[in-house]
Amino acid sequence: MAAMQHSVLREFVGKVVEISPKYKAIVQFQLDNKTERALLWYDKLKVNGQTLPQEGSIDEYLEKDTSLKFLCHNFDESGVDRCRWYITCAWKQDARDLDLKDNETILSGLYNCTGQILQIARRQGILSYCVDGRDENVLFLASKVFVAGKRVSAKASLPQLQGFEEGRSLLFDAVPCDPADNDGNCCWFATVVWKGRKPVMEYDDARNVRNTKAALLPQLTEIKLITSNPHSLFLRSEGQVMKIVNAEYGLALGAIKKNAWESVMFHRSHVLLFDRSLANEDLTTIFKEGDKLRIVAASAPKKLGVRWVASQVRLLIDPSVAHRFQF
């Protein structure tokens, strides 16, 4: 990957070489056989997929030689830190963290990205975005569109908005989705699309959500916050039912690589069977241990007791057991 051909680098690994309490650190990494330096601010570091408390210090979470994975873009190296790269999202590399460059099942959300309008309809559209040299589609809905910081009217027709013609560029954040669950074969779902000023998103103020609300939120509400946060890490893979906990919740094993599995919690509102939502169904009457699934999930906070929480689960039907799923 050529250094200057990409404004965003994905899934790089480096080591902390300098720490300046309490807000920044310098990360060193290799690119095109050269040693590069990247600037990391405290608010760009994620732990267990979550933003850190506002009042914390970076040296509480990092020390020299800590291995990090990160996304970064080009930066002016003339500053005092002599960094040519600016980190937009970083997380600790630990024993269970795989090399993401060689593992397409684990990926990061997309944040502050630019895409070109590929298709536009009255209340939804598709953006084209280049990910590591390949074009992928991003589905967006009119309810997620903002112009100059304001959400567009529920009555607005997107093609009639200035600057929303096919081929024009829009800014967006997005999380992974299952391309089988939408007509456009989109691998990403936009959490926000905007022109002009970006609106304040709840996940951009995640310190307030995590520190003051988390203990009061129903579990399902918190799961929805986690899975719609592009700062999170995501799993997009296949798996199988491990246990149905009750009518609403189940546990699955998701494949992170061959013969390697991690736990995934899922709620019935995120499950599809034959394109039918199971939001109002009793999972104990539908699933059995070992049923095959396709899963999209976000990294879970430790308090949930699982590695991932699902945003989308689709049952993969084996013809030999299809009779079990007749409603």
Mean pLDDT of 73-83: 76
What's the sign of the alpha-carbon dihedral 98, 100, 103, 104?
positive
**Residue 243 within any structural domain of the chain:** yes
Domain extent at residue 126: 106-195
**Residue 201 within any structural domain of the chain:** no
Q: Is there a single domain that holds both residue 52 and residue 110?
A: no
Name which of 24, 130, 134 is nearest 83 in CA terms: 24
Q: Quick one: pLDDT at residue 211?
A: 43
Q: What is the DSSP letter of 326?
A: -
Q: How many domains does the chain have?
A: 3
Q: Is there a single domain that holds both residue 116 and residue 164?
A: yes
Q: Is there a single domain that holds both residue 66 and residue 129?
A: no
For the chain, report the end-to-end CA distance as a whole number of angstroms. 51
**Residue 17 within any structural domain of the chain:** yes
- The 10 Å CB-count burial string (b at 16+, else e) for 83-122 is bbbbbbbbbbbeeebeebeebebbbbbbbebebebbebee
Ranking 32-46, 51-65, 163-177, 210-224 by mean pLDDT, the lowest is 210-224
**Residue 129 confidence (pLDDT) above 80:** yes
Q: Is there a single domain that holds both residue 246 and residue 301?
A: yes
pTM over 0.75: no
Residue finishing a domain among 37, 60, 92? 92
CATH of the domain at 85: 2.40.50.140
Q: Quick one: pLDDT at residue 218?
A: 56
Q: Quick one: pLDDT at residue 122?
A: 94
Q: Is there a single domain that holds both residue 234 and residue 278?
A: yes
For 263-318, the pLDDT digits (tens) are 999 999 999 987 889 999 999 999 998 899 999 999 988 788 888 999 999 998 76
Backbone dihedral angles phi then psi of residue 138, each to the nearest 5 degrees:
-120, 120
Q: Is there a single domain that holds both residue 68 and residue 112?
A: no
Instruction: Say if CB 114 and CB 169 are below 8 A apart.
Output: yes
**Residue 161 within any structural domain of the chain:** yes
**Residue 27 within any structural domain of the chain:** yes
Mean pLDDT of the chain: 84
Using pLDDT thresholds of 50, 70 and 90, give the confidence band for residue 5.
Answer: very low
**Residue 289 within any structural domain of the chain:** yes
Name which of 106, 227, 117, 102 is nearest 168 in CA terms: 117
